Structure formats: C-alpha cells, structure tokens
Chain A
Amino acid sequence: MIEVERAGRSFTHRRKAGVLRRERHVVHAVRDLTFSVAPGEFVGYLGPNGAGKSTTIKMLTGILTPTTGRVRVAGLDPSRRRTALARRIGVVFGQRTTLWWDLPLRDSFELVRHLYNVDQGDFRRRLAELEELLDLGSFLHIPVRQLSLGQRMRGDLAAALLHAPSVLVLDEPTIGLDVVSKAALRAFLRELNAERGTTVLLTTHDLGDVERLCSRVMVIDHGRLSFDGTLGDLRATAPEESSIEDVVARLYTGGG
C-alpha cells in the first residue's frame, strides 16, 4: 500500500556569512528512508521533534517532492499524481484543520463532497455513519472556528473519510485532546481499521496511541529509521519491566 525506497528530502538554507556573502547550508530532513506498509496494517510512526516524521508524511501525501529515492502510495507517485492520489487517501493534520474556518461543519462536508465528486447517496450513507460513530450530530451546524479542539478533530477526521479512502494518514491526531476525546478517537480508528481494513499510518508523541492501536511501530531519528517491528519487538529492546516511555526514550537518545 505504501512503498518508500531510499527516499530523502533535503532543504537548502542560505545563511549570512558576511555583508553580502551567503553560505549554502543543506539540512537533510529525511535521508535514505526505506519501508513498506501492507494493506490493512496499523502503523505508528514515532520519532523525536525534528526527526523527519512530518517530512515523511508530506512526501507520502504529495505535498513535498522527495529530492532522492522513490515513493509509492496506492500504486501512485505522490508528487506526480497528486490529485489522483488525493481521491484514494485521507489526510488529517492534528495541528491544522483542513476545514473551512467560517463555514458550519455541514457545509464544509458538502464542499468536500463536491471536491472529491462523492456520489450523493454514498455521501449521505457515510455521513450518517460517521455522524453516529464520531457523535457529530450536536455540532454539525456550528462554524468550524467555534468548535472545541476535540469537536474539530472529529470533524476533520470525518471530512478525511467521506470519500472512503483506502489509506488514512494521521499527523499527530491526538495532540491536545483530553483523555475522553482521545479514547473516543482511538476506538473509532481501531474500528475503522478492523472493520473496513483501512490502512492507517499515524504519527504521535502519545505512546498510549501506539500501545492501544498500532500493530507495528517505526521509529525515525535524524532522518533514518532506527526501529521497525511490532510493539513486542519494541519492548524487547529494553530491559524487562521498563515502561513503554522508557523504551522509546532509550531509542530517541540513541541508547539500547
């Protein structure tokens, strides 16, 4: 479903090195990254801040063009076939809404329906389903800017799923949510993965997400994968009885 082969992305900055002189300074956000995700997997993608998680997500969704290597999502090259890919994947950014700030949630969904050319019947059926599962009913008529973070997040998630994508990419979906909202979101994602077989890739700093959801964990550090395996494998990298936080901290700091 997702194939990444030796992909890399670097950014060039120019730094002042004198009155007029500028020094080129290349930062490799991601380098030589290789992994693949099979249909139906639920993968947690971890890494410290600045490790390259978001850059990877942006390469997978076609927002950024990789400087080296090859990326395939649902059989397509994301940066070249961006609009075709958009119909097959759903993307949610925890830190940024993809909805229209001034429009009521219901109107935002209607716009999404038109953007993705979703058939009216399918749209009604899916919206009714999502409305129930995500409990959207009470705030469908409220403009997005007035929603609470938890409500907005559920709205964003519903919007990303209206076109029934086969892959769902989530960038820190639980950031800033309270325990109840988190639990509801996790239950929904687990069901989506189990019932529909939707492939999910999720980045997070919340290890509870990983423990409760992910069948597989990948850890990126300094732009390279430093771990790829099951949750059990991950635990096995550290002495017994360490908490999952300790295990991950060891990986991030280069120990273990």
Chain B
Amino acid sequence: MLLAWTWMRASYQYPLSAAMMTVASFVVNALDIAAIWVIFAHVERLGGFSLPEVMLLYGTAGLSFGLADLLFGNVDRLSGHIRSGSFDTVLIRPVSPFVQVAVDRFSVQRFGRVLQAAVVLALAVPQLDLTASRAWMVPVMIVCGFAIFVSVFTLGAALQFLLTDAPEVANAFTYGGNQLTQYPLSIYGGELVRGVTFVLPLAFVNWQPALFVLDRDDPLGLPHWLRFASPLAALLLGLVAAAAWRAGIRRYRSTGS
C-alpha cells in the first residue's frame, strides 16, 4: 500500500505528464465504446443483443478488467524484473513478491478505464429495467470477473518465469480477453466460445451471468446452470494461477553474478 502511494507520488513529480496520461487513457477507452455506437447506428441488434444489453456487457467487462489492471496489471512487467535482476531484490523482502511486483510503478492513470466503464454501465442499467431478482447478479459478476482477470494476469506472469522474453504472449489473453468480453460472445464462432467457457473461462467474466441478468437463452444451447458458475470458475482459475505462480518462483533462475 505504502509502496503504491510512493509510486503515485513519484509519478506526480511530473504532474502534466500524469494528467495527460490519465486523459489519454480515458479517451482511448472512449473510442472503444464509440466503435460500439457506430455499429449500432447501422444495425438494430448485434449477435441478437440490443445496444443497452451490449453496454451492460461492455461495462461489466470493462469494470472487472479495469480494476484488475489497475491493481495487478503491473505483474506483466515481471520479465523486465527478471532480466534486470531486480527480482532478486523483491525476493529478499518480507512481503509477498506478487504484491511487490504489482505495486511497482503503480500508476493511477489506469483509473481512466475504470471510470469510463462505470459510466457506460451506469447508462446501460436504467434502460434495461431489471428486477432485483436478477440485478443482484451484476455486482457478483463484476467481482468474479475481477477475480478471473487477476488470475489471467497471474498466469501470464507465471508464464514469464519460463519465457522471460515473451511478455506479449500473456497480453493476448489479458488485454485480448478484455476486448473479447466487451461484445456478446454470440458474434464469435462456437469453437471459440467453447474454448473461453471450458478452457480459459473468460465466458464467466460477464457472458454467462449476463444471460441470467437479461433472462436470455444461450444462443449456443449450453446448459443453464453455467450462468451461475462464475464464482466456481473464478475460484478454480484462481487456484490454478496461484499454483502456477508458486511453481514459477521455485523454477526462478536468477541472473549471473
């Protein structure tokens, strides 16, 4: 916590740069939602979903991912720490290396994404007239989605113990996963949807629980109970990620000298 605060202070030594970064992050993410609005200017429905419904998917995915990225996104810099040798220093401190790497060069700029997703979600929800008996799932899915994205970040970081020169491989699943879950999965091919349901459970970030919130049938005809399985998916993926991280540390080779 204090480390995070220190990094924030350090970045605000250059207030103009920090402010521009925050604005830039907000604008870049606003372009995402602009793309969705452009699509809906031409079509009524996307993959069978209306604009407010897609905004619900977008907002929950963005919020889950944004929070995960804000708090733990820095773990994708692990390979940099390994190559420069500064990971040795991390390991001799009495604080979890995961936390240390996550808060290193902590930047609040990423808050721009969280804010933007929250705005989109706030615009979407009133248009959907949800009943309380279904709306309770929205906070649950944001929490589970957050846990799933944190796990994906962790898995990506654990992979960097093996492939120190390929942090981009992990980005395909973290940032790629965010892009993927912004749209209804029904627009993608069935193979891909099964992959993100049963292999890397990104479908549980928002797609499956959103089917419950919106009271829709699964366009792919997957079993009904899956829409309640997000906490289970988050838990399982979290356990796998934690095990992978530990295995990674045991395999850590350090650098010469």
Binding site for B on A (CB under 8 A): 11, 54, 58, 61-65, 79, 82-84, 86-87, 89, 91, 93, 95-96, 98, 100, 102-103, 107, 111, 114-117
Contacts and interface: CB of A to CB of B under 8 A. Distances in A.
21 contacts: A54-B257, A62-B91, A62-B92, A63-B91, A65-B250, A65-B251, A83-B93, A89-B92, A93-B88, A93-B89, A96-B86, A96-B88, A96-B89, A96-B257, A100-B6, A103-B10, A111-B3, A114-B2, A115-B3, A115-B94, A117-B94
Contacts of A86: 92-94
Interface in B100-131: none
Contacts of A91: 92
A152 B3 CA distance: 21
Given A103-B10, A114-B2, A61 B93 contact: no
Given A58-B88, A93-B88, A102-B10, A116 B253 contact: no
A100 B94 CA distance: 16
Contact of B2 (A54, A63, A65, A111): A111
A63 B255 CA distance: 11
A65 B10 CA distance: 34
Nearest to A94: B257
B94 A64 contact: no
Closest 4 CB pairs of A and B: A86-B94, A98-B89, A83-B94, A63-B91
A115 B257 contact: no
A103 B6 contact: yes
A111 B6 CA distance: 9
B37 interface: no
Interface of B: 2-3, 6, 10, 85-86, 88-89, 91-96, 249-254, 256-257
A62 B93 CA distance: 10
A85 to B, nearest CB: 8
Given A83-B95, A84-B94, A95 B257 contact: yes
Contacts of A79: 250
A116 B92 contact: no
A208 B10 CA distance: 41
A95 B89 CA distance: 12
B244 to A, nearest CB: 15
A83 B98 CA distance: 12
A86 B88 CA distance: 12
Nearest to A90: B92
B253 A61 contact: no
Contacts of B91: 61-63, 82
Contacts of A107: 6
Contacts of A96: 85-86, 88-89, 257
Nearest to A84: B94
Contacts of B249: 65
A161 to B, nearest CB: 13
Contacts of B86: 96
A89 B253 CA distance: 21
A87 B94 CA distance: 6
B13 to A, nearest CB: 8
Given A86-B93, A86-B94, A64 B6 contact: no
